């Protein structure tokens, strides 16, 4: 099985031995009867340590990311938390991309700062800025989110990984916005991939989950240990639903991005919109990098309204009016589901970043473009812009 689409459907999904059911059953048992003291059948003893449904998902996730070891968590933040504990100890230093998900920033800024982990933000597209942010010997991790949330800035995974490695630091890539269908960071030199599987991998806005994928066996050993020692594992039902969703990932991503490209073109041409952020636009500052690094440009589009120049808040007021005027695009947190969503980052996903260096201005709106018919989506945006 070499092709992505084939692996997404068949890895760790052999028909059930007992019945031939083409969808494997969900193993809900929390504990397994032991054949003798210390003899665990096929390695299973207790569901926090290992569960057959979760194992199947983990094998599929590793395969799709081009990695060797996958770990499935109860949320994206739980996956990130486990990465931090696996790699860092008090006194260590981290370089974060200067644009990232508010909850990731909060984890470093509010939670781990108190545990003695230091961090700096840097524009990872400026190699000198990255080098000067790294503290040789103390920096253990460089954290990349690309494309970034919400402004879809694209950061160079190969270059950042190469520089980090020169200083003995590891690189983590949050691959949530792309999914492994569009971007495979391990193949580009990154050490660790994290996901909020709540988003495109789950794809239907009905699962909360996270994942970590690595290829290095020493790192895998640390994750294997912390996975059960900390216990933030995904439930059997969420694991099963996520694995089910992987089967349609490729076709969903194809439609997400063809709809998103049409919407980006429509917004660029609309006089009511000041700026459009989409890596597929030739005008995007990292369009060329995105074309090399990604296998497509994804389903997220952000836009900015004019009016906040000169200290006025007209752009913010227009953004807030717009997100309440769409009908098909639902005003909601999250992204990556089959249905289209609209988000006002400054007051929603990035509200915890207010007053910090990663604060998002109020004139920006983020769209998670769903799989609905494109003419209905365009009509909705048009009526909301012009109402």
Ligand X SMILES: *Cc1c(COP(=O)(O)O)cnc(C)c1O
Q: Provide the annotated active-site residues.
A: 48, 101, 174, 199
> Judged by CB under 6 A, which stretch of 73-81, 83-91, 211-219, 286-294 contacts ligand X?
73-81
> Which C-beta is closer to ligand X: that of 67 or that of 298?
298
Supply the minimum distance, in Å, between the C-beta of residue 302 and ligand X: 13
In the block, which residue shows the tokens 């694209």?
Answer: 154
51 burial level (CB within 10 Å; 0-12, 13-18, 19+) = buried
Candidates 176, 183, 316, 326; binder of ligand X (CB under 6 A) is 176
Supply the minimum distance, in Å, between the C-beta of residue 344 and ligand X: 15
Cβ-Cβ contacts under 8 Å for 335 (sequence gap 6 or more): 177, 199, 200, 300, 341, 343, 366, 368
> Which C-beta is closer to ligand X: that of 208 or that of 214?
208
Candidates 77, 169, 201, 358; binder of ligand X (CB under 6 A) is 77
302 binds ligand X (CB under 6 A): no
How many other C-beta atoms are found inside a 10 Å radius of the C-beta of residue 167?
Answer: 17
Candidates 7, 199, 284, 366; binder of ligand X (CB under 6 A) is 199
Q: Maximum Cα–Cα distance for the chain, whole Å?
A: 75
Q: In what order do the strands lie in the sheet with 300-304?
A: 275-277, 300-304, 364-368, 341-343, 330-331
32 binds ligand X (CB under 6 A): no
160 binds ligand X (CB under 6 A): no
Residues of span 215-254 touching ligand X by CB under 6 A: none
Q: Which two tokens stand for residue 211?
A: 């994942």
Residue 58's H or E segment, with its range, is: helix 52-64
109 binds ligand X (CB under 6 A): no
CB 91 within 8 A of CB 138: yes
Supply the minimum distance, in Å, between the C-beta of residue 336 and ligand X: 8
Q: Which two tokens stand for residue 206?
A: 């009905």
210 binds ligand X (CB under 6 A): yes
In the block, which residue shows the tokens 């429509």?
Answer: 266
Strands 93-97 and 139-145 come out as parallel
Site string for ligand X, 309-338 (x = CB under 6 A): ------------------------------
Supply the minimum distance, in Å, between the C-beta of residue 8 and ligand X: 20
CB 367 within 8 A of CB 302: yes
* Residues engaged in binding ligand X (CB under 6 A): 75-77, 101, 103-104, 145, 149, 174, 176-177, 196, 198-199, 208, 210
């Amino acid at each position: 099985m070499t092709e992505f689409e084939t692996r997404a459907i068949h890895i760790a999904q052999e028909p059930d031995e007992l019945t031939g059911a083409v969808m494997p059953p969900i193993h809900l048992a929390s504990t397994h009867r032991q054949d003798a003291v210390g003899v665990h059948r096929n390695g299973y003893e207790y569901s926090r340590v290992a569960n057959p449904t979760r194992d199947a998902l983990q094998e599929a996730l590793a395969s799709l990311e081009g990695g060797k070891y996958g770990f499935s968590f109860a949320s994206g933040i739980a996956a990130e938390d486990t990465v931090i504990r696996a790699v860092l100890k008090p006194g260590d230093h981290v370089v974060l991309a200067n644009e990232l998900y508010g909850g990731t920033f909060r984890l470093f800024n509010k939670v781990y700062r108190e545990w003695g982990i230091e961090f700096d933000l840097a524009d990872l597209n400026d190699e000198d800025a990255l080098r000067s942010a790294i503290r040789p010997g103390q920096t253990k991790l460089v954290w990349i989110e690309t494309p970034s949330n919400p402004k879809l800035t694209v950061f160079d995974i190969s270059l950042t990984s190469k520089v980090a490695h020169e200083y003995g630091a590891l690189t983590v890539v949050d691959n949530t916005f792309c999914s492994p269908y569009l971007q495979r960071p391990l193949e580009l030199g990154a050490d660790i991939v994290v996901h909020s599987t709540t988003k495109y991998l789950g794809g239907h806005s009905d699962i909360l989950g996270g994942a970590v994928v690595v290829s290095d066996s020493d790192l895998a050993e640390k994750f294997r240990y912390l996975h059960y020692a900390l216990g933030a594992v995904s439930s059997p039902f969420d694991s099963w639903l996520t694995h089910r969703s992987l089967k349609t990932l490729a076709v969903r991503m194809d439609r997400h991005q063809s709809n998103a490209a049409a919407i980006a073109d429509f917004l660029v041409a609309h006089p009511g919109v000041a700026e459009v952020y989409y890596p597929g636009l030739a005008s995007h500052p990292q369009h060329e990098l995105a074309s090399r690094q990604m296998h497509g440009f994804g389903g997220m589009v952000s836009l900015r309204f004019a009016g906040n120049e000169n200290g006025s808040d007209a752009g913010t007021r227009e953004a807030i009016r717009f997100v309440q005027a769409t009908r098909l695009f639902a005003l909601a947190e999250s992204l990556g589901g089959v249905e289209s969503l609209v988000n006002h980052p400054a007051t929603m996903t990035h509200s915890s970043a207010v007053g910090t260096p990663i604060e998002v201005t109020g004139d920006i709106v983020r769209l998670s473009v769903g799989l609905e018919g494109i003419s209905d989506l365009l009509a909705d945006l048009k009526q909301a812009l012009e109402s």
